[in-house]
Chain A
Amino acid sequence: MIGSTIVSAATTVIYLATPYLYASIGETFGQLSGVLNLGVEGVMLMGAYAAFFTVLRTGSLTLGLLVAAVLGGSLGLVMAFMTVTLKAEQVISGMGLYLFSLGLSEFLFKKTIGTVQTVSGFPPVNIPWFSSIPVIGEILFRQNVLVYIAFALVPFAWFVLSKTPFGLKVRAAGQNPEAADSLGINIVRVRYLALMIGGLLSGIAGASLSIALLNVFQPNITNGIGFIAVGLVFFANWRPLGILAGTLIFSTVTSLQLWMQVQDINIPSDFLSMIPYIAIILVFVSMMKRRVYPPAALTKPFERGE
């Protein structure tokens, strides 16, 4: 009895981590290149809507995922145009993008779907052999495909960011754009690409909510996940492995809170729901004492000298 509860709680921890992983890793690319994108929450909402609508109309999960990714990437392009080409203030641009997407996803939902409906999302896939391992197999290897991709993204992002020329260019653009520029790196292009990757992954993060985990869409379904994901990037010290750790801590806290609500423990559920948000603030306070290395040019537009 206790064992099965723990297993199901651990399974929840793994799948709850999914949207955070996509969004945080995407945001890492943008921030490492020197642009803080606070519009993640909005991009997730648009991705969630687009994926859900596509699946509802066509029944094709792959197409839904693709539409969310492309739409997310385009919104990343908008953010890049604002902050890189127009050199607009990043925090306000991000808030603008958030408000725009929050409104638009609700507007389109009411106009095209109207009522809360469900779709059959990505089914769980049992990985042969591994899924039959007791306990661990049940927790890790009977998830849906978006969960596997999210976890595979961690080493992949680490590899891209620290071992490939593109990753080094991204980090150079965020640490010292002037020096990188003098070495012939096209800062504008690098930042555009980084923000588009970020938007694409945020779009998928939204889709993972609406067509893989919850299989519904309703206005403001993300309820702060996108903002928490931005916070996790800081917590992770801008490293994919740190994001994995932060996400797991975070989804553990969240699933513990869900579990406590189910168990009818005598703490008002509203207090439990506060925990993730309080945790993020505490994470930031704890960073005061830690050595952190934010990209030196974060939030600074790049002006090319003559």
Chain B
Amino acid sequence: MDINRIRKWFHLPGKLLAPFLVLAMLLCGFLVGAMLLILVGTNPLNAFRELFVGAFGNMNGLTNTFIKTGPLVFVGLGICISFRAGVFNVGGEGQIVIGALSATAVALTVPNWPGWLLILLCLFVGFLAGAIWGGVAGFLKAYARVNEVLSTIMMNYIAVYAMNYLLRGPMLDRSQLAAFTYLPQTSRVPVAAYLPCLFSTRIHLGIAIGALLGILVYVFLWRTTIGFRIRMIGKNARAARGAGVNVKGYMVLSIFLAGGLAGLGGAVQVLGVHHRLFTDGSAFGFTASAGFNGIVAALFAQLHPIGTVLASFLFGGLLTGAFRMQRTLQVPTALIGTLNGLIVLFVVASQTLRSRQAQHVDRTMKAVSTPLVGKEGE
């Protein structure tokens, strides 16, 4: 079968160039990272070996990589939907937190429900809460022309302070209260609400749900009318409006779904990994920056859902390996954040280089650029 037909069928971006370009971007990121490591006096080859061995080299690392992939997949898939609609949702952090908060609250309120029902309820509530949290920003964008980048960032901070308040007060673990330690965390959710683990490892059902969602989001975006309209308003909002598409409505819907997926990711983190919610006072304590790293994974995969699942695995691996690198070579894990930022810059730069090279190339990034205090809604 002709590889171009495969490419077309799956709507893979760009020409055959794309996979090489992706690898080149990753390589560029690592090159700059290597320079940085030399600067602080660490042998980059050793560091990168530790990074990859830690991530993929043994069973324990691989398991952790799978677990770290989870939240990135959920956020990344949401990003595929909202960025394709031209809505820059950078509120993943807050949406994860709100989803996790609601799921925890539900699990602790009705602990006696049958396990499967409780799990379903928690996941649903997590989704809904994240969706509403994101939807608010979407609504403000569509109907009050509030720039969504800034509003979602502000809502990240608001969500974190809400979590800090609840975890220090109303939702504080009773045993922490009794022991006078006051670590800001909730009690454990009932064991019945734990997500089942797969193949007797620590890899939980949430990871499989994430991978499945990758296919679902792909089908949604390219095989349904709603998905088509979402992509349409991202490519050309005016043309979509001319064709009778409710641009504002689909804008809100896209970030509603994105927020929902991130919220679901938060719920999965609670039920599958930590079994409780905790905070260190900042956003990163619980989310480990998944709200931003998911964006990196999605952009790296050129906003393709299935690619996003694979990219999340790669970035989940980097995050896992970073801990080994820190332990053995004292290289701070923040190196991965630096690499992620670089990769975003390279991805967005390569997009323009490519579109200059060939006129017909899928202009993914062009599609997501919207005027700021724009008149796009009218």
Contacts and interface: CB of A to CB of B under 8 A. Distances in A.
Interface of A: 36, 38, 42, 78, 82, 86-93, 95-104, 106-108, 110-112, 219-220, 223-224, 227-228, 230-231, 234, 268, 270-271, 273-274, 277-278, 280-281, 284-285, 287-288, 292, 294, 298-300
Given A96-B341, A285-B146, A88 B169 contact: no
Contacts of A234: 147, 150, 373
B36 A224 contact: no
B377 to A, nearest CB: 11
B345 A224 contact: no
Contacts of B336: 103
Nearest to A230: B150
B334 A278 contact: no
B348 A93 contact: yes
B51 interface: no
Given A89-B365, A270-B162, A299-B369, A100 B351 contact: no
Contacts of A91: 88, 149, 368-369
Contacts of A102: 337, 341
Given A270-B164, A270-B168, A287 B372 contact: no
Of listed A36, A223, A285, residue having the most chain B CB within 10 A: A285
Interface in B263-296: 282, 284, 292, 295-296
Given A110-B334, A230-B150, A287-B373, A270 B161 contact: yes
A90 B369 contact: yes
24 contacts: A38-B149, A86-B353, A88-B351, A88-B352, A89-B368, A92-B88, A95-B295, A96-B347, A96-B348, A100-B340, A100-B341, A102-B337, A103-B339, A107-B334, A108-B40, A110-B332, A220-B284, A224-B153, A224-B157, A230-B150, A271-B165, A280-B150, A288-B146, A294-B372
Nearest to B143: A288
Which secondary structure dominates where chain B touches chain A? helix
Given A87-B352, A93-B345, A102-B341, A107 B165 contact: no
B371 A299 contact: yes
A141 to B, nearest CB: 34
B151 A284 contact: yes
A242 to B, nearest CB: 15
B335 A92 contact: no
Given A97-B345, A107-B36, A107-B335, A299 B352 contact: no
B157 A82 contact: no
Interface string B137-154: 000100011110111011
B158 interface: yes
Interchain residue pairs A-B with the least CB separation, the first 8: A103-B337, A100-B341, A96-B344, A99-B341, A103-B338, A270-B165, A106-B334, A110-B332
B373 A100 contact: no
A97 B370 CA distance: 19
B349 interface: yes
Interface residues of B, number: 57
Contact of A281 (B90, B154, B165): B154
Contact of A107 (B149, B332, B352): B332
A279 to B, nearest CB: 9
Given A100-B344, A103-B338, A230-B150, 5 more contacts: A103-B341, A270-B164, A285-B144, A287-B146, A292-B373
Interface of B: 36, 40, 88, 90, 140, 144-147, 149-151, 153-155, 157-158, 161-162, 164-165, 168-169, 282, 284, 292, 295-296, 299, 331-332, 334-345, 347-349, 351-353, 365-366, 368-373
A95 to B, nearest CB: 6
A95 B149 CA distance: 10
A8 to B, nearest CB: 25
Contact of A287 (B40, B145, B295, B342): B145
Contacts of B368: 89, 91-92
A36 to B, nearest CB: 6
Nearest to A295: B372
A98 B341 contact: yes
Contact of B351 (A89, A108, A219): A89
Contacts of B155: 277, 281
B116 to A, nearest CB: 35
B158 A111 contact: no
B332 A111 contact: yes
Contacts of B145: 284, 287-288
Contacts of A99: 292, 296, 337, 340-341, 344
A229 to B, nearest CB: 11
A128 to B, nearest CB: 42
A36 B165 CA distance: 34
Of listed B337, B339, B370, residue having the most chain A CB within 10 A: B337
A228 B353 CA distance: 32
Contacts of A300: 371
B373 A219 contact: no
A90 B370 CA distance: 10
Contacts of B349: 82, 86, 88, 93
A172 B93 CA distance: 38
A72 to B, nearest CB: 16
A36 B150 CA distance: 12
Given A89-B351, A270-B164, A287-B373, A281 B146 contact: yes
B339 A268 contact: no
Nearest to A94: B149
B348 A278 contact: no
A107 B349 CA distance: 24
Given A285-B144, A285-B146, A277 B158 contact: yes
Contacts of A110: 332, 334
Contacts of A294: 372-373
Contact of A274 (B88, B157, B292, B370): B157
Nearest to B367: A89
A131 B336 CA distance: 49
Contacts of B343: 96
Of listed A98, A273, A281, A285, residue having the most chain B CB within 10 A: A281
B147 A284 contact: yes
Of listed B299, B334, B344, B345, residue having the most chain A CB within 10 A: B345
A230 B339 CA distance: 25
